[in-house]
Amino acid sequence: MTKREITVLGGAHIDRRGRISDTTVPGASNPGTWFEEAGGGGFNAARNLARLGHRVRMISPRGGDPAGEIVAAAAAAAGVIDCPFTFLDRKTPSYTAILERDGNLVIALADMDLYGLFSPRRLQQRATRELLAASDLVLMDANLPPETLTALVGAAAGTSRILAGIAVSPAKVVRYSQSLSGLDFLFMNEAEARALTGAEAGAVEKWPSLLRSAGLSGGVVTRGGKAAIAFDRENACLAVPPALPALADVTGAGDALASGFLAARLDGIGLAGCLRHGIAAAVLALHSPFAAAEEMSAENLEQVLALVPEPQMLS
């Protein structure tokens, strides 16, 4: 593996997760446990990519509060070069989720107004322009405003640079609508793919054509424990994740998949191999109680890779 220069722009905030201890009873008090850590789609991916051996810089707005200090400490612990712009009179964004006993999401609340201050003007700063120009991969997430995503795709465009996005949620993925044609890959689940296209695939094999019709040239659509599909301009492939006896937490699994996939792409691996690497990284995340698995490493990824079946090429 060759160490690459990566810039990530997007969410870096506080994740709060409550996990119900028994069968969920809606509309009632449920016994459970509470956990808090740094998170965010972009930040999870940044930490994964740094642990896979790359030089990663994270650009994100932050408040001047203790939550912001937690994020900064998490960046340092993972080896991410932290490049925030801080609003001392604001609070750091947060994501609060309630999980079932088995780790699946019940409901979540995102308090993320601060990301609205990440305007296109921020991309015009000399330091940011220089970082983008020197990057082999620019990764963004949909916590950024739509006009910023569009400006970022334009500012980072380059023939040898990979531009990729993380969907974050069905409500936010539509922020990519004006910038889809500039992305090499977008990582999403089926709910996010439906929100983006306004269509129902019916069969998973239909997603590449639907997303290409929307203007996207490459991406991955995940479906929990069911087959995931990846596509680029020429090809598409399908892979079934290995069955797992138990999940520590589903939080961050999609971000890990994006990280494993993109790390493989940076190494020149083909589409099917990238999907296998992405699924292997997601498996590591699913076995971890953290949104960005501390066990993420190139060595551990290679070991898990043996559990992931060869993808089926569709075109």
Angle between the N-to-C axes of helices 298-305 and 271-286, in degrees from 0 to 180, rounded to the nearest 10: 100
CA 154 to the chain's CA centroid: 20
Measure the CA–CA gap between 267 and 263, rounded to whole angstroms: 7
Q: What is the pLDDT of residue 244?
A: 72
- Does residue 201 surpass a pLDDT of 70? yes
Q: What is the pLDDT of residue 247?
A: 55
- Residue at 111 is within a domain: no
pTM score, two decimals?
Answer: 0.92
In this structure, what CATH number is given to the domain that contains residue 240?
3.40.1190.20
Range(s) of the domain holding residue 231: 41-84+120-314
- Residue at 137 is within a domain: yes
Q: Where are the beta strands (DSSP E) in 1-159?
A: 5-9, 13-20, 32-39, 55-59, 61-63, 81-82, 85-87, 94-99, 105-111, 137-141
Average pLDDT over residues 60-69: 95
What's the number of domains the chain is made of?
1
Q: What is the pLDDT of residue 76?
A: 97
Least confident of 14-28, 193-207, 237-251: 237-251
- Does residue 25 surpass a pLDDT of 70? yes
- Residue at 300 is within a domain: yes
- Residue at 112 is within a domain: no
- Does residue 202 surpass a pLDDT of 90? no
The first and second tokens of residue 49, run together, are: 């990519």
Q: What is the pLDDT of residue 110?
A: 84
Q: What is the pLDDT of residue 33?
A: 94
- Residue at 237 is within a domain: yes
Q: What is the pLDDT of residue 8?
A: 98
Nearest to 53 by CA among 264, 279, 276: 264
